[in-house]
Amino acid sequence: MTGAAPDHRAVPSFDEMTSVEVGAAIDANAVILVSLGATEQHGAHLPLGADTMQGIELARRTVARLQAEGHPAIVGPAIPFGPRGFLSETPIKLPGNVNLSARTFMRVLEEVGREIIDQGFRRVYFLGFHAESDAPMQIVAKTLCESTQANVVTLNWLVGARPRYSKFMEAKAQDGHGGEGETCRMLATAPHLCRMDKAAPWHPTVPQDRPDADALPYLGGGVGRYKMAEPYFEGFTSGITGDPQLATADRGELVYDIMTGWLADVIRHDLAGSEDFSRSEL
C-alpha cells in the first residue's frame, strides 16, 4: 500500500509498542531502526537528551515514509547514553553529561543488537545521532554481521545528508554541536524544550590553510584530531559551536525532510537487493 506518508507523530517508538505488534513486525520481515543518542550538555538552550530525541524523531519520519511505500519498518529501541565527548568538541567539563566508556557502549549496543536479532529481525540499522558513537557502532555492526544471520548497517547522516542541507543555513562561520542546525531540528522536534532566550553564539578560531581532508572522520574527513591547540577554543564557555539564535522550526522541517530522504534512499536500495547472504562466514 502506497500513498502520502502518514503523520510521523503517529508512528510509535519501540517502548510504545506491544509485544504482539513487535511480533507482527518480525513476521513481516520489517526493517528496524535503532537510534544511538546521548545524555549530554547542549548549552543553555537545548535539553540534555537532544541527541536521543532527534534520533527517535528521524527514525519515526523514516519509518512513516517507508510504511507509506509498502515497506514494513519500525522504530527500534533507542540507546540514550553514548561515549564521552571529544575534547576537540568540548574541552571542559559541564554538568549533565552521563557517558559510557567506548568499551561499555559497544557491549551494550552489541547485546541490544543480539536481542533484536535473536527475536527474528534480519535488517537492522544503527542510526548514529551522537558523533562519538560512529566508530564504535561500526565495530559492533561488523561483529554482528560476522556472527549472526542478520544484516546490520550503520547510518551516518552527518556524511550522507548534512552537506545537502548546509546551504540552507544562515550561519557563515563554523556550526556544530548545539548550533544553528541542531537547534533548527530541536525546534521542529520539541519546541517546548528549547530555551531560545538563553541561546548565544560561539565560534572557534579556525587555523587557515588547512591540509586537504583536514576534517574529523565522522564528518567525512580524513584526520582524527581529538584535541585542538589554542587559540581554537578561545572564549569557550557555553559548550556549543555555532549560532543557535539563527535557528527556525521551518528550516528544521526542511532539514528533517532532507535527512529522511537520504535514509529512505539507502534502505530502499538495500530492500531492492538480494537477501541471500549464504556466503557470509558465521
pLDDT in tens, the chain (282 residues): 344 557 999 999 999 999 999 999 999 999 999 999 999 999 999 999 999 999 999 999 999 999 999 999 999 999 999 999 999 999 999 999 999 999 999 999 999 999 999 999 999 999 999 999 999 999 999 999 999 999 999 999 999 998 898 889 998 888 999 999 999 999 999 999 999 999 999 999 988 888 999 989 999 999 999 999 989 999 999 899 999 999 999 999 999 999 999 999 999 999 998 777 655 555
pLDDT of residue 2: 44
pLDDT of residue 279: 58
**Rounded to the nearest 5 degrees, what angle is found at the Cα of 268, between the Cα atoms of 165 and 54?**
45
pLDDT of residue 252: 97
pLDDT of residue 1: 39
If one counts every other C-beta atom within 10 angstroms of the C-beta of residue 128, the result is 25
CA gap 186, 189 in Å, rounded: 5
Using the structure block, give the residue that is written with the C-alpha cell 537510534: 35
pTM (predicted TM-score): 0.94
**If 0-12 CB within 10 Å is exposed, 13-18 middle and 19+ buried, where does residue 272 land?**
exposed
**How far, in Å, are 149, 222, 234 from residue 135 at the CA level?**
22, 13, 28
For the chain, domains (ranges, CATH) are 23-267 (3.40.50.10310)
